[in-house]
């Protein structure tokens, strides 16, 4: 193994440890926000979705300049719809209210992604209801489902979600 390969391997380990620590902090913050907002779950999504997405993507190296919120798309229905967040062609994200299922959100996001120009289509499709996540690697046809509490345990599997 060359010195540069060793350095890359060590850097990857360091990055995963840093990301795991950030993921633990993310879980703490959002567990608290969910507990505090329990009475207002119907409005929780609109109040917190962009902050939630920013916090989540920051763990993988994204900043606000890498994220387009409310990206307009026109599915075959002809009506303009909005992807909650598009992270520079890496990930499309749809966030729903706590307690809502992820299947409908995923179906909706698939439809939105198909309406994007091919050059804009992301590798990852991410849906969340603040309590659970579904991350789909579209290119590899792989899906990971996990809870907010489990998120830090999945950092290694998600380390390719980075700004390009």
Residue 164 domain-assigned (yes or no): no
Compare 17 and 136 and report the one with higher pLDDT.
136
Phi and psi torsions of 110, nearest 5°: -60, -45
Number of domains in the chain: 1
Q: What is the structure's pLDDT at 148?
A: 98
Residues 6 or more apart whose Cβ sits within 8 Å of residue 48 = 33, 37, 130
Rounded to the nearest integer, the mean pLDDT of the chain is 87
- Is the model's pLDDT at 103 over the cut of 50? yes
Nearest to 68, CA basis, from 47, 89, 42, 96? 89
Q: What is the structure's pLDDT at 134?
A: 98
- Measured distance CA(92)–CA(77) in Å, rounded: 20
Q: What is the structure's pLDDT at 3?
A: 54
3-state secondary structure of 126: strand
Check: pTM over 0.75? Answer yes or no: yes
Torsion of CA 152, 155, 157, 163, to 10 degrees: 140
How does pLDDT run across 40-83, given as a tens digit for each residue? 766 788 889 999 999 999 999 999 888 999 998 887 778 898 99
Q: What is the CATH number of the domain that holds 101?
A: 3.90.1570
Q: Please state, for a pLDDT cut of 70, what percent of the chain lies above it.
A: 87
- Is the model's pLDDT at 153 over the cut of 60? yes
Residue 150 domain-assigned (yes or no): yes
Residue 121 domain-assigned (yes or no): yes
- Domain interval for residue 21: 3-158
Phi and psi torsions of 97, nearest 5°: -65, 150
Task: Return the H-helix or E-strand segment holding 14.
Answer: helix 3-36
Q: Summarize the confidence of residues 4-29 as an average pLDDT.
A: 72
Q: Summarize the confidence of residues 5-9 as an average pLDDT.
A: 47
Residue 163 domain-assigned (yes or no): no
Residue 25 domain-assigned (yes or no): yes
Residues paired with 82 in a beta bridge: 72
Q: What is the structure's pLDDT at 14?
A: 46
- Measured distance CA(155)–CA(163) in Å, rounded: 16
């Amino acid at each position: 193994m060359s010195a540069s390969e060793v350095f890359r391997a060590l850097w990857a380990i360091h990055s995963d440890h840093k990301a795991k620590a950030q993921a633990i902090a993310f879980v703490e913050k959002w567990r608290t926000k969910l507990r505090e907002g329990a009475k207002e779950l119907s409005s929780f999504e609109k109040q917190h979705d962009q902050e939630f997405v920013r916090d989540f993507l920051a763990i993988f190296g994204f900043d606000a300049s890498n994220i387009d919120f409310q990206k307009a798309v026109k599915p075959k229905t002809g009506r303009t719809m909005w992807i909650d967040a598009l992270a520079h062609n890496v990930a499309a994200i749809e966030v729903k209210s706590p307690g809502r299922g992820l299947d409908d959100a995923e179906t909706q996001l698939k439809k939105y992604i198909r309406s994007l120009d091919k050059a804009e289509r992301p590798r990852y499709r991410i849906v969340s209801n603040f309590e659970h996540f579904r991350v789909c690697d579209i290119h590899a046809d792989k899906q990971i489902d996990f809870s907010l509490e489990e998120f830090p345990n999945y950092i290694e599997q998600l380390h390719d979600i980075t700004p390009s």
